[in-house]
Amino acid sequence: MSDAGDGQSPGHFEGKVVLVTGGASGIGLATARAFARRGASVVVAGRTPETLDRAARTIGAEGGEVTAVPCDVRSEEQVDLLIARTVSVYGGLDVAFNNAGVSLVGSLTTMTPAEWDDVISTNLTGTYLLMRGEIGAMVGRGGGVIVNNASNAAHMTLPTMAAYSASKAAVLSLTRAAAKEFVARGVRVNAISPGPVDTPMWSTRPGESREDRHRRMAAAGPSGKVGTAEEIAELVVWLASPHAGYIAGHDLVVDGAMSS
C-alpha cells in the first residue's frame, strides 16, 4: 500500500518497540520482519539461540533494528528477563505478538501428564506470564497493543488435538478477560485464530510429508488453500495499527471459512 496514512506503509511504526515470541521462524519471523520494515525496533524471542541469531541476521540484512533474546516462555524468570531486556535496550514496549506455542497430536487416553503439561504451560501459562509483564510495561508507557496467537482449533477440533485445542480456547478466554480489564488503561488485547498455515511447525507430522500434508489440509477447507505466514503477519500489523483502535477483546479467525 502506498498511502502513508494507511497504517501499513513503511515508517508507520517508527519509534515503536515490538516484541515477538516464537520469532525465529514461521509466523513469528514473518511478523517481526513486517514490523521492522515499517520502522519498528523489534525484539525476537525463542528457545533456540542459533535459530534466533539466524532470524536476527535476516531482519538486520533487510535494514531492520532487531535484538534477539533467548526465552522459554514456560519460565517465569526467563519471561521477566525478556521484558526487562526489551525495556532496557529500547526504553519501553508498544506492541507484543505472543506467538510462541507448541502442538501435540495424540489420543487423550495415551497422552502423558508431562505431554499435557508441556502444551498447557507453553501455550496458556506462557501467554499469561508474557501478558503480565507486557501489560505492566505498556501501562507505564501510556498504552500499547497485545495480539495473542490462538488457533481455529479453539473453534473446531479433531479427536487427536485435545491438549492443543484446550490450550488455545483458554488463550481466547484469557484475551477477553485481559482486554476488558485493561482497555481503559490504554492497552488493547486481541487474538487471532489462524487455520492451517505453511510453517515449519505446522508442516512436520510423523509419517506424512510436507507436500502430502499441504494437499490434505488445503482440501479440508472450502477455500482449497493453506495460508501463508506473510498473510498472518499483515493481519497482526493491522491489529496493532491505529486503524484497529476500537478493536479490543476480539478474536479474528483467519482460516478461509474452515471453521465457519
pLDDT above 90 (res 170):
yes
**Would you say the C-alpha torsion 123, 128, 133, 137 has a positive or negative sign?**
positive
Asked if 148 contacts 21 with a C-beta cutoff of 8 angstroms, the reply is: no
pLDDT higher than threshold 80 for residue 201: no
CATH number of this structure's domain 17-252, picked from the four choices 3.40.50.150, 3.40.50.720, 2.60.40.10, 3.10.105.10: 3.40.50.720
Which cell numbers hold the place of 107? 489420543
* 122 bridge partner residues: none
Range in 19-23, 85-89, 187-191, 193-197 the model is least confident about: 193-197
Q: CA quadruple 166, 32, 19, 47: dihedral positive or negative? A: positive
Beta-carbon-side half-sphere exposure of residue 146 (alpha carbons within 13 Å): 34
pTM above 0.85, yes or no: yes
What pLDDT, in 10s, does the model give residues 35-77?
999 999 999 999 999 999 999 999 999 999 999 999 999 999 9
Q: Is 146 helix (H, G, I), strand (E, B) or coil?
A: strand
pLDDT digits (tens, 9 = 90+) for 133-168: 999 999 999 999 999 999 999 999 888 999 999 999
The one-letter amino acid at 122: T
User: Which helix (H) or strand (E) element contains residue 240?
Assistant: helix 229-240
End-to-end CA distance of the chain: 29
All three cell numbers of 138: 505498556
Residue 164 is a catalytic residue: yes
pLDDT at 199: 74
Q: Which three cell numbers, joined as nine digits, stand for 187?
A: 492497552
- Is the predicted pLDDT of residue 203 greater than 60, yes or no? no
pLDDT given for residue 5 in this prediction? 42
% of the chain exceeding 70 in pLDDT: 86
- Sign of the C-alpha dihedral, residues 220, 221, 224, 227? negative
CA dihedral 14, 52, 218, 162 (to 10 degrees): -110
Nearest-angstrom CA–CA distance, 203 and 194 = 14
